[in-house]
Amino acid sequence: MIPDMSSPKTCAKSPEVMEMEPGTYWWCSCGFSSTQPFCDGAHKDKGFKPLKVEITEKKKVAWCLCKHTSNPPFCDGSHAKLS
């Protein structure tokens, strides 16, 4: 079966909460990366692009893994509405 490339793959129905150091990160928007929540290039030929995220100070971040957040790349609770 060929996956539907018009919508992202849901990796989990909960966020990945991580303590992040300052730096540049690339959030996976397609859901196919094996290094979730970060991009590993798996989006190639799938119609998705990673989202560049600048973290300016050390902080705890809830990265969206369902890929349906309205506040990418951060979790907004959208995973609770998925079936």
Residue 2 lies in domain: 1-54
Given a contact cutoff of 8 angstroms between Cβ atoms, the answer to whether 40 and 50 are in contact is: no
Q: Buried b / exposed e across 58-80, counting CB within 10 Å, b at 16+?
A: eeebbbbbbbbbeeebebeeebe
- Reported pTM: 0.89
- The answer to whether position 31 is within a domain reads yes
For the chain, the domain total comes to: 1
Q: Confidence class of residue 2 from pLDDT cuts 50, 70 and 90?
A: very low
- The answer to whether position 66 is within a domain reads no
Statement: residue 74 has pLDDT above 50: yes
Q: Which two tokens stand for residue 74?
A: 């951060």
pLDDT digit string (tens) for 25-67?
A: 999 999 999 999 999 999 998 899 999 999 999 999 999 999 9
- The answer to whether position 63 is within a domain reads no
Statement: residue 1 has pLDDT above 60: no
Statement: residue 5 has pLDDT above 80: no
Average pLDDT, the chain: 93
